[in-house]
Amino acid sequence: MRFQFKTSYDQDIRIFRDRVDVFWYGLLAVAVLALPLLLDEYSVGEIAWVFIYGICGVSLMVLVGFTGLVSLGHAAFLGIGAYAHAYFLMHGLPWVVAMGLAVVITTACGLIVGLPALRMTGIYLTIATLAFAVIIQEVFSRWESVTHGFAGMKVDKPVIFGVEIADDRSFYYLCLFFLVIVLWGTRNLLRAPTGRAWIAIRDSEIAAQSMGVHLAIYKSIAFAYSAGVMGLAGALFAHKIAYLAPDIFTILLSIQFLLLVIVGGLGSLHGAVFGAIFVALLPPLIAILRDSIPDSLAAFAASTGLTPVGAIGSAVGAFLAKPGVEAGIFGLILVLVILLEPLGIYGRWLKIKLFFSTFPMYKAATFKRQKSYMRSERLR
Amino acid sequence: MSLFSAENISINFGGIKAVDGVTFDVAKGEVFTIIGPNGAGKTTIFNLMSRIYDPSGGKLTFDGQDITGVPPHRIAALGIARTFQNIELFEHATLLQNLLLARHAHKRSNFFSELLFLPSVRRMEMAHREAVEKAIDFLDLQQYRDSLIVNLPYGVRKVTELARALCTDPKLLLLDEPSSGLNVEETEDMAFWIQDIKNLLGITVLMVEHDMSLVSAVSDRVMALNYGRPIATGTPAEVQAHPEVVRAYLGG
């Protein structure tokens, strides 16, 4: 067991609690920095998705997980960021300026969409954001002078201060950089009055108000910040997919973001990253299994003479190749997570950590009472 | 001089007059209790004072200032803090975060300085923490500092809410049924704390309470309400013996 002795208030304020924390996060940093050198280009490209989804996850986590406002329209903010960034790049603005403008524009959109949030709660707000997303998707396809409609828009490789980020490895580091910045900024807000005000609004609006929190202002800030971060992710997203079309930013993408924060664990920044790993890496994992299971089982059947095993392998492969199976697996996992682990992957992570730190005295009852759902999930 | 005064305040919900022309004032440094049967309008008066409801008539004055039109989020900064009848804590936050939130009215930082967590924000956070630790020490909550509220027993939550109200540095503390749901021993502790709040911290207390033993132990003055109207005001003994009060509670 590890005991932490506190001798100053700063120990509760700083990001890394003690040297052990610094060690583990340092190790993680080294691993993440060294990963592109060890893996092939394709895998590095897939992991860059984790970082982009991680930024999206932080964005939605602020709104859903910390402020308790559920949005089904975040794909629209991603789209606005992506299109704005691509548009400004096409008109010859420097990369940094284009990205800055993309963030400013999405932040402004977030503020405007946040206005109804001051009046609506729960499911009604969710429906309003959904309507917004549908409208924006229509705008993407109709406003051809800017978005080129369904003809699409090509996005070149980023050129930052004259340096072209041409290969997937450099882009991986670019995405990582922005994810770290976003995580750091959000963590700062969360340990300051703004973040506490968000949490207060999530758990009890009436008490928050009585303690001096201006509900309208802090809900607006949450919406604007969430949208701005999404816009940043959108700019990276545009480079990653290299070709923008209106049918990318659909309601399904919004649902996927919501799934990300719920599976990751509502109310924690770790959850945003865990959820991003899950959402970004599950599809490639399914693809790998689809290709490898039939072959490996066929090889096993050939070597042992058990022909049914080979048949099972090809059946599993054919099943995984069917359209819609991926969405089905996502849905199934979402249902299981909500039923069995309301705090998501992060909740499981806490239990595993506690198991090792208190070994051999871990007791499951420690977490018994925590299986309560947050108010934002109950959609009061 | 009175710290708070309500002049002829009323509020209607549909056709029901929940509070009907109530006038009272709370002197600085006293414990003033409002009693009355269920539905008498006690909590409604609290909600009018913390500006969650707008009165349909009358005037509220606090510390020489008319607060009838002040928005609810400004009330804490003026120096009025409250607890709730059905605990309204931030359940999925730690006790420490709950208390730190109570310092919100005293924050001196803006969004961008918090985003970068400038040294000024860090200093402010430490100062807030110091204020919060005073309340933790005062109410003996040290061992629960880092627990989530959902994991705490009811009695501790009740005390936490009191601590949170104290963390706003109030001049006037509104306690809505501080003893509800507490056992006899916890109610006794609550009585001591209310006395300490009055005597040691010099905070004026206005409370709504049903437990007459607690009311008589700590109150300087009591007002009895029935159907939104005051029926008696005076010392606890006087009010308890008042024939109107007896009739309101027992009928007849």
Q: Please report the pLDDT score of residue A333 as a whole number.
A: 86
CB-CB under 8 Å, A202 with B73: no
What confidence tens digit (pLDDT) does each residue in B147-157 have?
889 888 899 99
For the domain covering B2-55+62-79+170-250, report its CATH number: 3.40.50.300
Q: Which of A192, A211, A369 sits opposite B150 (nearest CB)?
A: A369
Quote the CA–CA distance of B91 and B149 in Å, as a whole number.
5
Cβ distance A44 to A35 under 8 Å?
Answer: yes
> Is the minimum CB–CB distance between B145 and chain A shorter than 8 Å?
no
Q: What is the pLDDT of residues A299-335, one digit of tens each?
A: 888 887 777 777 888 888 888 888 888 888 888 888 8
Write out the two tokens for A128. 């309003």
Instruction: Give yes or no for a contact between A55 and A236, defined as CB atoms under 8 angstroms apart.
Output: yes
User: How many Cβ atoms are within 10 Å of A25's Cβ, its own excluded?
Assistant: 12
Q: Nearest by CB to B76, which of A189, A199, A210?
A: A210
DSSP annotation string for A315-341: HHHHHHHSTTHHHHHHHHHHHHHHHH-
DSSP secondary structure, A118-185, as one string: TT--HHHHHHHHHHHHHHHHHHHHH-HHHH-GGG-EE-PPPEETTEE--SHHHHHHHHHHHHHHHHHH
With cut-offs at 50, 70 and 90, classify the pLDDT of residue A369: low
Nearest beta carbon to residue B72 from set A203, A210, A372: A210
d(CA A354, CA A348): 10
The answer to whether the CB atoms of B101 and A185 lie below 8 A apart is no
Distance between B59 CA and the closest CA of chain A, angstroms: 20
B25 is written with which tokens? 């004032």
- Paired tokens of A5: 């002795």
For residue A161, how many other CB atoms are within 10 A of its CB? 7
pLDDT value for A377:
43
pTM of the predicted structure, to 2 decimals = 0.89
Q: Which residue of A has its CA nearest to B114?
A: A189
Compute φ and ψ for A116, nearest 5 degrees: -60, -25
Is the pLDDT at A376 greater than 80? The verdict is no
ipTM value for the complex: 0.91
Residues of chain B with pLDDT under 70: 1, 252
Number of cross-chain residue pairs from A and B with Cβ atoms under 8 Å apart = 116
Cβ separation A370–B150 shorter than 8 A? yes
Helices marked H in chain B — which ranges?
A: 42-49, 75-78, 95-101, 111-116, 119-138, 154-167, 184-199, 212-218, 236-241, 243-250
Confidence band, pLDDT 50/70/90 cuts, at residue A372:
low
Q: Which residue has the tokens 């998501």?
A: A344
Q: Within an 8 Å CB–CB cutoff, is residue B134 touching chain A?
A: no
- CB proximity under 8 Å: B 22-61 to A: 50, 52
Residue A369 to residue B82, Cβ atoms within 8 A? no
Tell me: the pLDDT tens digits for A200-234? 999 998 899 999 999 999 999 999 999 999 999 99
The two tokens of residue A236 are 């990276």
Q: Could you tell me the residue ranges of all domains in chain B?
A: 2-55+62-79+170-250
- Measured between beta carbons, the chain A residues lying within 8 angstroms of B90 are 199-200, 202-204, 207-208
Terminal Cα-to-Cα distance of chain A (whole angstroms) = 40
Quote the CA–CA distance of B35 and B89 in Å, as a whole number. Answer: 24
**Is A211–B101 a contact, with Cβ atoms under 8 angstroms apart?**
yes
